[in-house]
Structure 1
Amino acid sequence: MSHDLASLSLPEKRALLARLLVEGHPNKPDIVPLSFPQERLWFIEQLDPGQSTYNVPIPIVLPASLNASTIERTLKEIVRRHETLRTTFVRQDGGPVQLIWPQLSANLQVEDLTALPPEERQTEMERIINTDSRIAFDLSRGPLFKATLIQLDAASNLLLFTAHHVIIDGWSTKLLIDEIKAIGTAYANGQESPLPKLAYQYRDHVRWQRDYLQGDVLKQHLNYWRQQLSSLPPLLSVPPDHQRPGSSSSRGLVQSALISGKAADALSRLAREAHATMFMLLLAAFKTFLFRHSSQTDIVVGAPVANRTRPEVEPLIGFFVNTVVLRTQVSSDMTFRELLARVRDVALDAYTYQDLPFEKVVEEIQPERDLSRNPLFQVAITVNADTAAHRDGRRRAGGNCPGGPAALRERHGEIRHHAGREPHARWPHGRAGGAIRPVRAGNGEPHGPAFCRVARLDCRESRSAFG
């Protein structure tokens, strides 16, 4: 027996251990296939295990009236409600499976900072947040989240919920926060949870996804993306101010710029007049910006989509997000409204075929691989909408994707659009490999402010050609 074990490779030993643990565990789990997005992250984790790149830290400000015992009880109820929070991932029979456990502990770590002076309290809080956000999760061992309650003062606490992206996405963060507040408030008042039982779970979605993407449906999706992405330009030539390194990295800095409330209102009006969403309008402005600084007419941008196209999955915590490739032809004799109409049509078509996983699209297109850049696109955009009024936008385009995917961080412009507040544009400063310096526009100005000015100009000159 010992000789047989010695001949096994490390992955084979891990698979054997996982199987023995499952078979001998009194709290025996259900064994379920992975969803396509989960498969993607699981394979990435095998290539570079123990990293925090795909952690999703969620800070939640709570009133001090919700004490530690109430919050811990609340978390246990949420873990009971959502199977994804009771899930681990192992290799079995040569491939990954997810183990859904009937029960999983949801222990709460408490850090009491109330006795510290304000400045020390702030420093210690930031240290705890940074430490928790960098925790290394082992996907084969649960839970794949950590909850820390930071007690600040007599009025408020900060609950930091950090989870691996394989069990949660941006849409889920809003659900998690809402459920913690609703259940916690009920428990604090001596009531039971007010939330209805979930009739649909993530495993049901996995089954639907694998049944749906077959036959004619799969053929239609493949045909669309094959036609839309044929003969892609190999590289978007936005001029950098330093040499591209030999391999890509998720390292970088953030540059922020503000669009005034007046300009934001004008952008919203223009979007309504064009029968477009704010995401579509900002994407058109972004493509204008890239056109002006690259002199390329074939502009390819990636965007995360929440990929929750059915009402059954809307109340579920889980990893649903996908990536779509948005390709638009731009010319100097187009007006901005004409470009916006073209971007809108491309986006609507992409939403129709968003169920095909990004990795399947890459597999079908088979672009030339280069370690220094991402396949299919090198630039991505996310528009985060924080209110219920933007529910459709979260479902279809620009759905939150906190903490990842790292593949979208090469040059990733993120525009946070808050109803009633100024949109906040964030832009990365350069890339890894040598000195990290701001990637600048052709006139030496950092890209963030330059993009904001393009958005304002395009709003004022929407009926004029641009070049």
Structure 2
Amino acid sequence: MENVWPGASEPSIGQVEYLKYLQVMSTVQKPSYVQVELELPQLNKEVVSKTIRLLLDRHNGLRTIFPMQDNRIVQVVLPVGDSRFQMEVVKTGKEVANFHHIRKDVYDKASAVFSDIGNGPLVCAVLFDNGSDGLLSLLIHHVICDEWSCILIRNELKIIHEAFTAGKEPQLPPVQVQLKNYCEKQNTWLRDNQQEISFFWKRKLSGFDKFFDIAVYRKMYNRRRNVLFPVFTRRHSYKTSELGAILDRPEASSYTSVIWHPAFSETATGSGKSVDSSVYASLLLFLYAYTGKKKLLVPSLVTDRLEPSYQQLVGCLLGSIYLAVDIQEDMTVRAFEQLVKNELAAACRHIIFSHNFLDLDGDLIRNCCDMYVNYLRKPGNMPAQVRSHKHVEEDYAINYPVYCLITVYDDALVFVWKYNRFLFDSNMIEDMVRYYEMLVQYIAHNEELPISELKNLVSIPEIIL
């Protein structure tokens, strides 16, 4: 018999969609979680416990679980003093290697707890104590926390801990909207505008129904290597079910590259564009130049933070949009970048939180996509360890041919190119990345160039490189 949960409320339509996805994927991958760490040179366990309690009290989304009630998923906020939120203290030695081993074991244990979303907790607080100082680590299930929230949480943890350490009360702005209230508003908005949002995307996606074809990528790759008679060892034309099965395969790898900010900030300065829109435009122009395709379909993960009150909300406010672009070859690079900025703005006013809710066939659309983009910002300069990190690593299932994770720092952009190993090989991806990096520099200095001159450009002119 199911429990009755007093005060239970309806999750957002987006949360329900994500929770259903987790149930489907539970047999092949661990729950996704984010991590927030705070170094503690002055270790006082009582102060740390008090810090965590205040954070949980401020953001009830962190105390949320998703049990079943009357055969449906509900959202329940646990009391701040619930024993499930008790901080775990882990003694560590001074040796770095030993610490990494201990931390991995703790994180693996937390991910197992996150599998039970109906009981929770969906946030685990771990204090690593090496005898002199410490490291506070919060592990938070992705369903209640996105990367934007991680920045908020870390800032608040630092402010709260420093204040309590000094014997003062933390000075923080009040939280205007809690996750429960946001879910109610999102559901009301989606139901009131369901037909309009559905029509927007069906019209926008009309005609973008050609399946992903690896052959157009291999054609350019072989031209750049001067391969006159390429031998294709894999088929490159698939039926719907075949392509879906390939994109769901767990075999993936990733390749990391870095582009310094001036390549994008120069094109954005004084032009009415932004670094964000310039990056998206460059990716679309790269796909056009490398493949020759004029119809490009690029989905992107976005966060619903346009309303000011949502910018201090801790939760997972993620949805998706599509950039469905029909390249007009007589358009200049500058005009195209402005077009992309407008397309992004329109798409973000029609965020997709659930394809099913909008009567959109998500699997069919996915088969027609060229690349998936996850674009996020982090404060500060690029971490030093990223600079030398440019090699292929094994990764997990990405569900798309290429998944491009872009992290924007104050001084640089880090691109993690995750790719399906059944479709691409490492040499081909490295060639595509080199091509993209040179193309970014080229278009930054040639904004009045007609787009048509980029098509099937085997070698990027190196005048300005």
TM-score (norm 1): 0.79
Aligned to 2:461: none
Q: Does 1:248 align with 2:236?
A: no
Deviation of 1:137 after TM superposition, in Å, equals: 2.4
Deviation of 1:374 after TM superposition, in Å, equals: 2.9
- Once residues 337 and 141 of structure 2 are traced to their aligned partners in structure 1, the CA distance between those partners, rounded to angstroms, is 36
Q: Does 1:282 align with 2:279?
A: yes
Q: Does 1:234 align with 2:246?
A: no
- Once residues 95 and 316 of structure 2 are traced to their aligned partners in structure 1, the CA distance between those partners, rounded to angstroms, is 40
- Once residues 361 and 100 of structure 2 are traced to their aligned partners in structure 1, the CA distance between those partners, rounded to angstroms, is 49
Aligned to 1:9: none
Q: Does 1:438 align with 2:416?
A: no
Aligned to 1:26: none
Q: Is the 8 A contact 1:236 1:299 kept in 2?
A: no
Aligned length: 413
Aligned to 1:112: 91
Q: Which moved more, 1:221-230 or 1:53-62?
A: 53-62
Q: Does 1:45 align with 2:51?
A: no
Aligned to 1:426: 416
The letter of the residue matching 1:339 is F
- Once residues 396 and 431 of structure 2 are traced to their aligned partners in structure 1, the CA distance between those partners, rounded to angstroms, is 24
Deviation of 1:416 after TM superposition, in Å, equals: 1.8
Q: Is the 8 A contact 2:38 2:158 kept in 1?
A: no
- Once residues 253 and 152 of structure 1 are traced to their aligned partners in structure 2, the CA distance between those partners, rounded to angstroms, is 35
SS at match of 1:323: strand
SS at match of 1:190: coil
SS at match of 2:316: coil
What does the per-residue CA deviation read over 1:161-180, in whole Å, with 9 as the maximum and x for residues that have no partner? Answer: 22211111111111111111
Aligned to 1:61: 38
Deviation of 1:464 after TM superposition, in Å, equals: 1.4
Q: Does 1:212 align with 2:209?
A: no
Seq. identity, %: 18
After superposition, the Cα gap between the structure-2 partners of 1:410 and 1:67, relative to the gap in structure 1 and judged at 3 Å, is: farther
Q: Is the 8 A contact 1:55 1:162 kept in 2?
A: no
Deviation of 1:439 after TM superposition, in Å, equals: 6.7
Within the candidate set 411, 423, 430, 2:402 is matched to 411
SS at match of 1:275: coil
Deviation of 1:376 after TM superposition, in Å, equals: 5.8
After superposition, the Cα gap between the structure-2 partners of 1:407 and 1:36, relative to the gap in structure 1 and judged at 3 Å, is: farther
Deviation of 1:126 after TM superposition, in Å, equals: 5.1
Q: Does 1:452 align with 2:437?
A: yes
What does the per-residue CA deviation read over 1:14-69, in whole Å, with 9 as the maximum and x for residues that have no partner? Answer: xx3333xx4xxxxxx41100102211111112323376544223141312214333
Q: Is the 8 A contact 1:149 1:157 kept in 2?
A: yes
Deviation of 1:73 after TM superposition, in Å, equals: 2.0
- Once residues 38 and 249 of structure 2 are traced to their aligned partners in structure 1, the CA distance between those partners, rounded to angstroms, is 32
Deviation of 1:112 after TM superposition, in Å, equals: 2.4
After superposition, the Cα gap between the structure-2 partners of 1:347 and 1:162, relative to the gap in structure 1 and judged at 3 Å, is: same
Within the candidate set 154, 157, 162, 1:185 is matched to 162
Q: Is the 8 A contact 2:60 2:77 kept in 1?
A: yes
The letter of the residue matching 1:345 is N
Aligned to 1:396: none
Q: Is the 8 A contact 1:137 1:164 kept in 2?
A: no
Aligned to 2:313: 316
- Once residues 119 and 95 of structure 1 are traced to their aligned partners in structure 2, the CA distance between those partners, rounded to angstroms, is 45
- Structure-to-structure mapping, 1:46-445, within 5 angstroms: 46-49=23-26, 53-103=30-80, 104-105=82-83, 106-113=85-92, 115-125=93-103, 128-129=106-107, 132=110, 136-152=114-130, 154=132, 157-215=134-192, 217-238=193-214, 239=217, 246=246, 248-249=248-249, 251-259=251-259, 261=260, 264-354=261-351, 356-360=352-356, 363-366=358-361, 369=363, 374=366, 377-387=369-379, 410-419=401-410, 421-431=411-421, 437-438=425-426, 440=428, 445=430
After superposition, the Cα gap between the structure-2 partners of 1:129 and 1:43, relative to the gap in structure 1 and judged at 3 Å, is: closer
Q: Is the 8 A contact 1:57 1:133 kept in 2?
A: no
- Once residues 428 and 220 of structure 1 are traced to their aligned partners in structure 2, the CA distance between those partners, rounded to angstroms, is 34
Aligned to 1:393: none
Q: Is the 8 A contact 2:252 2:418 kept in 1?
A: yes
TM-score (norm 2): 0.79
Aligned to 2:392: none
Q: Is the 8 A contact 1:258 1:423 kept in 2?
A: yes
The letter of the residue matching 1:357 is F
After superposition, the Cα gap between the structure-2 partners of 1:405 and 1:187, relative to the gap in structure 1 and judged at 3 Å, is: farther
The letter of the residue matching 2:355 is E
After superposition, the Cα gap between the structure-2 partners of 1:159 and 1:52, relative to the gap in structure 1 and judged at 3 Å, is: farther
- Once residues 284 and 32 of structure 2 are traced to their aligned partners in structure 1, the CA distance between those partners, rounded to angstroms, is 30
Structure 1 gap segments, 5+ residues each: 1-15, 23-28, 389-403
The letter of the residue matching 2:417 is W
SS at match of 1:17: coil
Q: Is the 8 A contact 2:34 2:139 kept in 1?
A: yes
- Once residues 168 and 48 of structure 1 are traced to their aligned partners in structure 2, the CA distance between those partners, rounded to angstroms, is 19
Q: Is the 8 A contact 2:374 2:404 kept in 1?
A: yes
Q: Is the 8 A contact 1:380 1:408 kept in 2?
A: no
- Once residues 126 and 458 of structure 1 are traced to their aligned partners in structure 2, the CA distance between those partners, rounded to angstroms, is 43
The letter of the residue matching 2:71 is G
- Once residues 170 and 183 of structure 1 are traced to their aligned partners in structure 2, the CA distance between those partners, rounded to angstroms, is 20
The letter of the residue matching 1:255 is Y
Deviation of 1:250 after TM superposition, in Å, equals: 5.2
SS at match of 1:423: strand
- Once residues 104 and 396 of structure 2 are traced to their aligned partners in structure 1, the CA distance between those partners, rounded to angstroms, is 24
Q: Is the 8 A contact 2:253 2:396 kept in 1?
A: no
SS at match of 1:359: coil
- Once residues 447 and 283 of structure 2 are traced to their aligned partners in structure 1, the CA distance between those partners, rounded to angstroms, is 14
- Once residues 130 and 56 of structure 1 are traced to their aligned partners in structure 2, the CA distance between those partners, rounded to angstroms, is 11
Deviation of 1:298 after TM superposition, in Å, equals: 0.7
